[in-house]
A and B are shown apart, each in its own frame.
Chain A
Amino acid sequence: MKQYRNLIKPYLVWAFVIIVIPLILIALYAFTEDGNEVLTFSFTLENFRKFLEATYMSVIFKSFKLGILTTLICLGLGYPLAFIISKCPEKSQNLLILLVTIPEWINMLLRTYAWMNLLSDNGIINRLLQLLGISPVTMMYTDFSVLVGLICNFMPFMIIPIHTSLSKMDKSLIEAAFDLGANKFQTFTKVIWKLSIPGVLNGIMMVFLLSISTFVIPKLLGGGQYMLIGNLIESQFISVGDWNFGSAISLILAVLILIFMSLMKKMDKDE
């Protein structure tokens, strides 16, 4: 097998230099004092203490609130859709799933931008409201517009895994439940829902991770002042220049994500 060791070498070098070393570097940054020029090794927890200040905590809370809300709405809207698709004949199922995935191939900017057209103060929705005699509503640059953007961008990540687990399901189990006298509702809660939980957990994980770490969508639909964790990290690196603090926030975000993912995995195993 020796010859394969040579084959894998370029990959190993790449993975080590481009992924492993930079990640270690960030952890170092997070625990050291400032000095963007050269990495100084005076260790400190100041960056993490700073994080506990009220302004930053409120950003975290807002990010989590929006992330959870997005995930729940995606689940609420996406599950029925995945369920309906899974009940269609095989051929149209493929087509419908294709329809769900196509938007994911379209540039995220484009998808977000499309909503700017609709939601802006003199946009199409307000124009329609005006025609109906209702005074215009400010939708752009609010929590609402950000939420709409997040949901529309990440919905497919909820639908696909749920559909996968629903369509893999052994249909005879459902028939068996009916034969044993369960009604529609019982069959759903006791059989279908239970069997689709792995897909649901996968979907929740994907949507939550994506929505908690995004910064382009809140920037475009929420305006320049709108702050979520992603925007906070970006501003620390690009405009403020406090890389150590930025690294600390990223590290906290990464740890939170790891905890969340292991919780999800554990739930998956328990089921």
Chain B
Amino acid sequence: MRKNSKFAGFYMGLIFFLMYLPIAIVIIFSFNESKLPVRLTGFSLKWYQELLQDNAMLEALVNSLILGCLSCLVSAVIGTLGAVGLSRIRWKSRGVLEYISILPLMIPEIILGMVLMAFFYLLGLPFGMLTLLIGHTVFCVPYILMEVKARLVGMDPSLEEAARDLGAGPGRAFWDITLPLIMPAVISGSLLAFAMSMDDVVISIFINGPRLSTLPIKVYTQLKTGVTPEINALCTLLLIATLIIFLIYTRITKNKHK
């Protein structure tokens, strides 16, 4: 195979530069003293200080964290059971069920959002944390289900059979043998789901209700009015949090393949 030419290297560098430039600018200007995002006037942490004093923003952050953890937890249970169940049943409808399991990832988010909004409205559920939680499981479950399913495919079924032969009941065999084996996939899937939940704007906008605001929704409403250095600071912090989750995720998935 031929090596890349100099031009190829230049092209690659250019694309990556364009990809990361806007993000780099956000970080740089978050430490900039001036309010205008054009001139660098000096290093300052005042936007971070202002951010920390913004109670509405902190409340939104707490909401997002609670929501992320809860939807992750609920989805991990439903998704893991679903994946284990799906891999074992020999029903005719299995194909349909598998199709439904990835359906939420294929339907545009906006359609999911409005579908859920109409559904909750008809059910008479008050819009708030509960509707957000149910709504977020719609995309969290498929992520966990897919990760766990992939792990189950590579698993040796004789391990569980051995446990059953040695007298363990089905529940015991699942709890003691299968679950520890698929645990890395459950965790990596949950991390992915958590990141998605912390990230979600589109679905949340439809089902959040008038009083409750998650962090992305708060950012979204502020952005509609324009750019502020405070948002730069917030984005930089979010970026760091995202990178940490991402690093943990790649760690786990890497070990999984070994």
Task: Tell whether, in the assembled complex, residue B90 and residue A124 are in contact, meaning their CB atoms are under 8 Å apart.
Answer: no
Stretch among A40-48, A53-61, A102-110 lining the B interface: A102-110
A132 at the interface (CB under 8 A from B): no
Taking A22-B119, A77-B15, A213-B108 as contacts, is the C-beta distance between A14 and B141 under 8 angstroms?
Answer: yes
Interface residue count on the B side (C-beta < 8 Å): 85
Task: Tell whether, in the assembled complex, residue A106 and residue B12 are in contact, meaning their CB atoms are under 8 Å apart.
Answer: no
For B173, give the chain A residue with the smallest CB separation. A3
Task: Tell whether, in the assembled complex, residue B36 and residue A19 are in contact, meaning their CB atoms are under 8 Å apart.
Answer: no
Task: Tell whether, in the assembled complex, residue B103 and residue A19 are in contact, meaning their CB atoms are under 8 Å apart.
Answer: yes
A7 at the interface (CB under 8 A from B): yes
Q: How many A-B residue pairs have CB under 8 A?
A: 222
Contact with A along B111-126 (1 / 0, CB 8 A): 1001111110110000
B250 at the interface (CB under 8 A from A): yes
Task: Tell whether, in the assembled complex, residue A122 and residue B235 are in contact, meaning their CB atoms are under 8 Å apart.
Answer: no
A115 to B20, CA, bound (A): 11
B170 at the interface (CB under 8 A from A): yes
Task: Tell whether, in the assembled complex, residue A106 and residue B242 are in contact, meaning their CB atoms are under 8 Å apart.
Answer: yes
Q: Which range holds the interface residue count of chain A?
A: 35 or more
Report chain A residues within 8 Å CB of B2. Answer: 87
B68 at the interface (CB under 8 A from A): no
Contact with B along A93-113 (1 / 0, CB 8 A): 000101110110111111111
Task: Tell whether, in the assembled complex, residue A11 and residue B78 are in contact, meaning their CB atoms are under 8 Å apart.
Answer: yes
A111 to B219, CA, bound (A): 12
B130 at the interface (CB under 8 A from A): no
Q: Which of A141-168 contact B (CB under 8 A)?
A: 152, 155
Contact with A along B195-228 (1 / 0, CB 8 A): 1001101100110000000001001100110110
Report chain A residues within 8 Å CB of B242. Answer: 105-107
B231 at the interface (CB under 8 A from A): yes
Please pick, from B89, B115, B171, the residue contacting A1 in the complex, using a CB distance under 8 A: B89
A26 at the interface (CB under 8 A from B): yes
A125 to B36, CA, bound (A): 14
Task: Tell whether, in the assembled complex, residue A250 and residue B111 are in contact, meaning their CB atoms are under 8 Å apart.
Answer: yes
Most buried by A among B20, B23, B104: B23
A224 to B224, CA, bound (A): 8
B163 at the interface (CB under 8 A from A): no
Task: Tell whether, in the assembled complex, residue B38 and residue A127 are in contact, meaning their CB atoms are under 8 Å apart.
Answer: yes
Task: Tell whether, in the assembled complex, residue B11 and residue A84 are in contact, meaning their CB atoms are under 8 Å apart.
Answer: yes
Task: Tell whether, in the assembled complex, residue A87 and residue B4 are in contact, meaning their CB atoms are under 8 Å apart.
Answer: yes
A266 at the interface (CB under 8 A from B): no
Report chain B residues within 8 Å CB of A122. Answer: 36, 38
Taking A26-B114, A115-B22, A233-B114 as contacts, is the C-beta distance between A87 and B3 under 8 angstroms?
Answer: yes
Task: Tell whether, in the assembled complex, residue B109 and residue A18 are in contact, meaning their CB atoms are under 8 Å apart.
Answer: no
Report chain A residues within 8 Å CB of B8. Answer: 80, 84, 87
**30 A–B pairs (Cβ distance < 8 Å), ordered by A:** A7-B88, A8-B81, A10-B78, A11-B82, A15-B100, A15-B101, A18-B137, A29-B118, A81-B15, A87-B4, A98-B250, A107-B199, A109-B223, A110-B235, A116-B226, A117-B26, A123-B37, A123-B38, A127-B38, A171-B1, A174-B1, A213-B108, A213-B110, A215-B202, A216-B220, A220-B224, A230-B108, A238-B205, A243-B114, A246-B114
Residues of A within 8 A of B (CB): 1, 3-5, 7-12, 14-15, 18-23, 25-26, 29, 36, 38-39, 77, 80-81, 84-85, 87-88, 96, 98-100, 102-103, 105-118, 120, 122-124, 127, 152, 155, 171, 174, 209, 212-216, 219-220, 224, 230, 233-234, 237-238, 243, 246-247, 250, 253-254, 257
Given contacts A14-B78, A84-B4, A237-B114, 16 further A-B contacts (CB under 8 A): A10-B81, A14-B82, A19-B103, A26-B111, A26-B115, A81-B15, A105-B243, A107-B198, A110-B238, A112-B223, A113-B231, A118-B22, A220-B223, A234-B110, A243-B114, A243-B118
